[in-house]
């Protein structure tokens, strides 16, 4: 296996006209510079606004993409907000929770009617609750990363995906979202999977008619926690 691998890598180096130690060192330096500098692409002007306005823009764009949003004043209000959502959507009081200490330590005992299980999603789960790394204001997009505390199955298997997003996690552009991801995990420790989620899953492959829930949840509900001095009080939206 080692000989075969060496042969393949040798062919690639010859095709790329590499091989000399000096050339390889130069290529490595170029890669290191690229990883350190993080060049930014074009950014829409609509997202270059103050943080409070970015939160409002995120909500408006998320709702435009068929998500629903409820603003709450603190993380402690998440269980009650989840109960309200389940009741409004006529869903069973069952929840698959991401195994994150921040979510697990919320006052779920205040909602004894909700059956809460943690871990990866199973086929029978109808509702999942996860956190997020960031919210992208320019398109109302959520940035979610995989890991022991955030199984990716929770983002795609259940029909209903509820996401807890803090106002302080909302950024303007996609590049700002990548910056937040790097700050959170550190260089060399990025997650295996990064998902950008904009609204519920949908497709128009069949007769150009939009169908929700094609490849994932048919409903996306965002609990937007007002943890910043935005000047905007909690309100329901969506």
Tell me if 232 is assigned to some domain: no
Please tell me whether residues 65 and 168 are part of one structural domain.
Answer: yes
Tell me if 237 is assigned to some domain: no
Per-residue pLDDT tens digits for 28-41: 787 777 777 777 77
Tell me if 213 is assigned to some domain: yes
Output the CA angle 26-31-32, nearest 5 degrees: 95
Please tell me whether residues 20 and 60 are part of one structural domain.
Answer: no
Residues with pLDDT less than 50, the chain: 213, 230-238
Please tell me whether residues 201 and 167 are part of one structural domain.
Answer: yes
Please tell me whether residues 85 and 30 are part of one structural domain.
Answer: no
Per-residue pLDDT tens digits for 126-152: 999 999 999 999 999 999 999 999 999
Torsion of CA 65, 67, 73, 75, to 10 degrees: -120
Tell me if 25 is assigned to some domain: yes
Please tell me whether residues 116 and 161 are part of one structural domain.
Answer: yes
Distances in Å between the Cα of 159 and the Cα atoms of 6, 162, 231 are 47, 10, 34
Please tell me whether residues 142 and 117 are part of one structural domain.
Answer: yes
User: What's the CA gap between 112 and 115, in Å, rounded?
Assistant: 7
Domain that holds residue 79: 45-225
The pTM score is 0.81
pLDDT (0 to 100) of residue 232:
44
CATH number at residue 152: 3.40.50.10420
pLDDT (0 to 100) of residue 237:
41
Please tell me whether residues 70 and 20 are part of one structural domain.
Answer: no
pLDDT (0 to 100) of residue 19:
62
DSSP code for 28: H
Tell me if 155 is assigned to some domain: yes
147 phi-psi bin (left φ>0, alpha ψ -120 to 50, beta other)? left
Tell me if 230 is assigned to some domain: no
Q: How many helices (H) and strands (E) does the chain have?
A: 7, 12
Structural domains in the chain (count): 2
Tell me if 238 is assigned to some domain: no
pLDDT (0 to 100) of residue 235:
41
Q: In this structure, are strands 202-203 and 211-212 parallel, antiparallel, or unpaired?
A: antiparallel
Q: In this structure, are strands 115-118 and 141-145 parallel, antiparallel, or unpaired?
A: unpaired
Please tell me whether residues 112 and 156 are part of one structural domain.
Answer: yes
């Amino acid at each position: 296996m080692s000989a075969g691998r060496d042969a393949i890598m040798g062919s690639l180096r010859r095709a790329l006209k590499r091989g000399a130690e000096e050339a390889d060192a130069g290529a490595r330096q170029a890669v290191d510079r690229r990883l350190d500098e993080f060049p930014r692409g074009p950014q829409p002007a609509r997202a270059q606004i103050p943080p409070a306005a970015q939160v409002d823009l995120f909500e408006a764009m998320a709702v435009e993409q068929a998500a629903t949003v409820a603003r709450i004043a603190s993380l402690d209000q998440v269980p009650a907000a989840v109960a309200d959502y389940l009741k409004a959507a006529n869903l069973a009081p069952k929840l698959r929770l991401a195994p994150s200490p921040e979510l697990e330590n919320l006052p779920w005992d205040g909602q004894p009617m909700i059956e809460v299980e943690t871990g990866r999603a199973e086929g029978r789960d109808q509702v999942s609750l996860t956190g997020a790394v960031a919210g992208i204001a320019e398109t109302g997009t959520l940035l979610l990363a995989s890991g022991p505390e955030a199984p990716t199955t929770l983002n795609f298997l259940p029909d209903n995906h509820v996401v807890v997003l803090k106002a302080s996690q909302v950024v303007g552009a996609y590049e700002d979202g990548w910056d937040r991801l790097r700050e959170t995990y550190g260089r060399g420790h990025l997650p295996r999977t990064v998902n950008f989620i904009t609204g519920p899953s949908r497709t128009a492959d069949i007769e150009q008619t939009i169908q929700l829930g094609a490849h994932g949840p048919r409903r996306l509900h965002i609990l937007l926690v007002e943890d910043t001095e935005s000047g905007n009080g909690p309100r329901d939206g969506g």
